[in-house]
Amino acid sequence: MRYFWMSLGAVFVKDLVTELRARQVLPTMIVLGMLIVWVLRIACEAAAGSTAVIGPVAFWIAFLFSGILAQERSFATEQQHDCIYGLLLAPIDAGTIYLAKLLVNVVMLCIFEVIVVPVVIVAFNLRVGAGWPGLIVVLLLGNVAISSVGTLFSAIVQLCRTRGSLLSILVLVVLAPVMVPATFALLLMFGAIPAELVGTGALAFVGTFKAAVGYMVAFDVVFVTASWLLFGFAIKE
């Protein structure tokens, strides 16, 4: 067990240090995120749309696309000088590599969220009030979902030398089931869905805020576990 934590820590620290030193991912993520928020804010104003509706949507669009950008880099550094073989030759389980990479992507997205969330709240004049804990939980669950799917498919796409553009398609398709409850949870939180409409229409299956969070937890648990177990097969040549 000690060895598991040691190798997990080694890969995690190595990835974080190389990312922070290269300063390639975070600035690009922030610029893209801000651009998305700005464009949606203009669209909201032009169409006289409700900020409580567009705001939560802006969260997920910004996280999703900036997350994919970060995850594309996840295994790109391992491709340089065949570094991935250095990892695969080490006496560590492939699942440990996956978990370390997942943690790095979660941390990168967390740093991104710390910067972008206040901007979205101010730009769309959202009232969080006492809803901060709920907002943090939903954003974290969404973060884990995006990172877990992105990390797995980034490995498959990069290491199997498939075309890079496939990553976005695969990630977006697989994440669709979790994006519905994630959006629903934030819409409910910011009062964008009138109480009488909750449990009706297209989002009826999600039910309540608690149910939406439950869906997200289930997705995260299932996907992280499955990816951890399958990662070895996914990166095998």
Partner 1 sequence: MITLKSISKAFEHRPVLKNVDLAIGSGESVFLCGINGVGKSTLLRIAAGLLSPDAGHVEICGRDMTKDPEGARLHLGFISHKSMIYDDLTVLENLMFAARLYGLPEPRRRAADMLDEMGLSGFAYDRAAILSRGMLQRLAIARALVHRPAVLLADEPFTGLDGKAAAHLTDVLQGFGGAGHAVLMTTHDVAAGLQCCRRVIVLHAGSILFDAATEGIDPVAFARDYVTYAGGRP
Interface residues with partner 1 (CB under 8 A) are: 3, 6-7, 9-11, 14, 17-18, 21-22, 77, 80-83, 85-93, 236-237
Contacts for 235 with CB less than 8 Å, ≥ 6 apart:
84, 88, 94, 155, 156, 159, 160
CB of residue 12 to partner 1, shortest distance in Å: 11
Closer residue to partner 1, CB minimum distance, 80 or 200: 80
Burial degree of 190 (CB within 10 A; 0-12, 13-18, 19+): buried
Going by the DSSP 8-state scheme, the letter that residue 36 receives in this structure is H
Closer residue to partner 1, CB minimum distance, 93 or 119: 93
Closer residue to partner 1, CB minimum distance, 27 or 201: 27
Q: Is 183 helix (H, G, I), strand (E, B) or coil?
A: helix
CB of residue 226 to partner 1, shortest distance in Å: 21
Structure tokens at 81: 């000088």
> Tell me, what amino acid is at 150?
G
- By residue count, the chain amounts to 237
Closer residue to partner 1, CB minimum distance, 159 or 198: 159
Closer residue to partner 1, CB minimum distance, 26 or 188: 26
CB of residue 76 to partner 1, shortest distance in Å: 12
Structure tokens at 66: 């900036």
CB of residue 4 to partner 1, shortest distance in Å: 10
CB of residue 235 to partner 1, shortest distance in Å: 11
CB of residue 19 to partner 1, shortest distance in Å: 8
Burial degree of 144 (CB within 10 A; 0-12, 13-18, 19+): buried
CA–CA separation, 58 and 67 (whole Å)? 14
Sequence-ordered alpha helix ranges (H) in 124-200:
132-159, 166-189
Closer residue to partner 1, CB minimum distance, 30 or 88: 88
CA–CA separation, 202 and 180 (whole Å)? 10
Closer residue to partner 1, CB minimum distance, 14 or 32: 14
CB of residue 84 to partner 1, shortest distance in Å: 8
